[in-house]
Structure 1
């Protein structure tokens, strides 16, 4: 009898967990869609409103309708879309490189800080000092060291991602319950064991938050790397568009990369909410 009750309880708990996960997923999807729509509406209003308020010359300043026409209604719309979206995929590929490079380094350095307070005290001030230096000022040195190549994309993009992610992940690792860390230590666990079994699981919400905030940062870093160093993609096309007075193409490129950043950010937010619900950490989002 007790075994049957236990089995029923387990099934009930499992069903409840699945319902919570589905509910959290639906809420996340709804919240993500609402955020995307409201943000997109705000951007469109600010965009059109700024052009009207500051009376920007229509030859230079293109509004949302101009971009729509350039991409979808003019005779050359198909060729325009092919060019702009082709550059978009290149920029997103570069952004992925910077995203992975910056996030991996941030996780490793944050773990090192957790393992050694001396290393943190020595390196964190240096990291904050480097963070205060504008990337444009560091770009010539980075280009001299790594040349205008794949490594420069990883370094420039990784720098933009690294510092916000490092601070967020390091804070999450330090938020682990002290009594759990002490328990592992009492039973002979090393600092590495505490990090692996206590700090990292407790830091999952912070890690996912770092992933989310790194998405727009990675895209910004990719555009900077393309503009300042390697060319290609949307960032590399900006200079050519301005020099050739192709302002419709310029504004269209900016609009497309902005929409892509909003979509990716909200997708990561939805995945974050669902994963935290599965882990029973929804209340910590």
Structure 2
């Protein structure tokens, strides 16, 4: 019996399953570009909006049809007022966002790299950041006057604090093991900052740029609504006072195009700077 069991034992053992390759399921971490999805969804949304207006489901006073807003935008372009409003807004946005970003980079890097600066900057940022910056516009008017300086200062002030938080957080979250490894190779302090800290913090810094750009556009419109003769915000305010909803939607479309352009530019910057990822 024992001999029979020994002879039958090896034959009764199941054969090992053949090895198979496990497919990679991390595609969400490296998304593939689907260029058609965005335009198709946007076109479907506009077609549904237009159909709802033409069928009477949406009142013209509540929400005008996209074709009416496009006609108002075409009239604005033909009159030459489009470029006047757009150039005034872009000038304020570029000056305010650039100034706030540069100051935020300097202060955020100082807070991330130096203990004394961190002890001073972080509590100050936590105290001032929650204040709505548009509420400080009257104070800026007293300081800088009713002209362009007060509007640029409002945007600069609003962009400064989220940039500081993004830069400081990005520097603080760099892997300390990478810093220690660089120190073990004898790199200087500046070399570690340039080759380890800044590249490691750059994803968070660029994400902060996106947030600060959106905040800058919001503050731009609010500042122009309070005191400006030309600008997209002033145009939207005038259209709202006149109940010209087609012009109001046209102004909102201009802001949307500005936001898309800024997002596209920052996306190109991310691809160029974060090519190492």
The TM-score, its normalising length taken from structure 2, stands at 0.72
CA distance, structure 2, for counterparts of residue 93 and residue 238 of structure 1: 18
> Partner residue of 2:260?
262
Instruction: Tell me if the contact between 1:156 and 1:224 (Cα under 8 Å) persists in the aligned partners.
Output: no
Instruction: Tell me if the contact between 1:184 and 1:194 (Cα under 8 Å) persists in the aligned partners.
Output: yes
Q: For the aligned residues, what is the CA RMSD?
A: 3.3
> Partner residue of 2:157?
159
SS of structure 1 residue aligned to 2:274: helix
> Partner residue of 1:79?
78
* Equivalent residue pairs, number: 244
CA distance, structure 1, for counterparts of residue 110 and residue 59 of structure 2: 53
Instruction: Tell me if the contact between 2:239 and 2:247 (Cα under 8 Å) persists in the aligned partners.
Output: yes
Q: 1:64 aligns with which of 66, 81, 90?
A: 66
> Partner residue of 2:107?
109
Divergent runs of 4+, >6 A: 45-52
Which structure's CA Rg is the greater one? 2
Deviation at 1:197, TM superposition (A): 4.1
Q: Which has the higher contact order (CA 8 A, sep 6+)?
A: 1
Deviation at 1:110, TM superposition (A): 0.9
Q: 1:240 aligns with which of 230, 238, 241?
A: 238
> Partner residue of 1:98?
96
> Partner residue of 1:37?
39
Deviations 1:18-47 (A, max 9, x none): xxxxxxxxx88x45x457536745874897
The TM-score, its normalising length taken from structure 1, stands at 0.71
CA distance, structure 2, for counterparts of residue 167 and residue 42 of structure 1: 38
Structure 1's unaligned 5+ residue stretches are 1-26
> Partner residue of 2:199?
201
Deviation at 1:57, TM superposition (A): 4.9
Deviation at 1:218, TM superposition (A): 2.3
Structure 2's unaligned 5+ residue stretches are 1-30
SS of structure 1 residue aligned to 2:203: helix
